[in-house]
Amino acid sequence: MDNDRIIKLLKEICSTPEPEEKKAFFQGLEDQGLISRRPVVINHGDFLLRQFFYIGKWIWLLSAVLLLCIMGICYGNIGNYPFALTPLLAVEILVETGRSSRWKMAELEYTARFSLRSVMLARIFLVGIVETAGLLVVIWVVRPWFSYSLIRVFLYMMVPYLAASLLGSVYERKNRSDNNWGSIIICFLSSGLFAAAPYYLSSLYEERFTVIWTVAFILLVFSLVVSMRRWICELEEAVWN
């Protein structure tokens, strides 16, 4: 048998059959309104609210557990060590922000109306706002158990959290991997560093260094915004290129 005959024979055997009940199928589509009905679209506020319910429950659970641990350790009155736990909160924002690319959903989200940028910003905003609010409540509750002013407790809590978030976001941006172990390790290392700080650099927690903590806080907020923005931009463009 020559090649042409084999090809013809294979084509006959392998070709897909003609569609059946085509007319009834199209009628069904028309009846259901699938072909011509344009849906109404939601605004950015509604989108943000809907995204809240798509953030993993474990994120909120872990946040609550960590915040309770910080409060418990503060109540135990063991010096400046509770401040070292706040970098662990950064794990959640980093894991949540990188979720789209980790699970190969980024391309689908990118071509949707609200786009990947909105999805990532919504996650950063929601997890960030809830964690910051939680930390502010903790700061207000534990403040009487320290001899520091409210602003100093705030700085000692927030600077480690922001530092870990910044380092983790830079790492995630530069090393796009299928998991978050790199940034998780960074958060734990930051936590260890701030746990060791009161032991090796106890003077850092003296009142005269409050200005340095304030400057560090402002710089970290600014750098984190820049880093997150670059992370989103690079994920949108560079992943595909």
By CB under 8 A, tell whether 3 contacts other proteins.
yes
State which of residues 5, 19, 206, 211 lies at the interface with other proteins (CB under 8 A). 19
Q: What minimum distance in Å lies between the beta carbon of 124 and other proteins?
A: 16
Q: How far is the CB of 180 from other proteins (least distance, A)?
A: 14
Three-state SS for 29?
helix
Is the separation of the CB atoms in 88 and 161 below 8 Å? no
**Interface with other proteins, residue 119, by CB under 8 A:** yes
- Taking CB under 8 A as the criterion, the residue among 1, 5, 13, 40 binding other proteins is 40
CB atoms within 10 A of CB 203: 8
Which range of residues in 84-92, 105-113, 151-159, 208-216 is near other proteins by CB under 8 A?
A: 105-113
Task: Find the binder of other proteins among 14, 147, 181, 200 (CB under 8 A).
Answer: 14
Of residues 14 and 211, the one with the C-beta less far from other proteins: 14
Q: Tell me the C-alpha distance between 115 and 106, whole Å.
A: 9
* Residue range at the interface with other proteins (CB under 8 A); choices 51-59, 133-141, 159-167, 191-199: 51-59
37 binds other proteins, rule: CB under 8 A: yes
Instruction: In whole angstroms, give the CA distance from residue 71 to residue 49.
Output: 29
CA dihedral 87, 88, 89, 92 (to 10 degrees): 120
Binding other proteins (rule: CB under 8 A), the pick from 12, 13, 16, 206 is 16
Choice from 107, 201, 215, 222 touching other proteins (CB under 8 A): 107
Cβ contacts of 30 within 8 Å, gap of 6 or more: 36
Query: Please, what is the angle between helix 115-142 and helix 57-75, to 10°?
Result: 20
Separation between Cα atoms, residue 69 and residue 43, nearest integer Å = 38
Among 12, 13, 32, 45, binds other proteins (CB under 8 A): 32
Tokens (6 digits) for 182: 């790199």
**Helical pair 181-200 and 90-97, crossing angle rounded to 10 deg:** 160
**How far apart are CB 174 and other proteins at their closest, in Å?**
20
Q: Based on CB atoms, which residue is closest to other proteins, 39 or 211? A: 39
Q: Render 143-175 in DSSP notation, one character per residue.
A: GGGSSS-HHHHHHHHHHHHHHHHHHHHHHHHHS
Q: Which is nearer to other proteins, 19 or 207 (CB)?
A: 19
The answer to whether residue 125 forms part of the interface with other proteins (CB under 8 A) is no
CA angle 55, 59, 64 (to 5 degrees): 130
Q: Which residues bind other proteins (CB under 8 A)?
A: 3-4, 7, 11, 14-20, 22, 25-26, 29, 32, 34-42, 46-47, 50-51, 54, 56, 99, 103-105, 107-115, 118-119, 237, 240-241
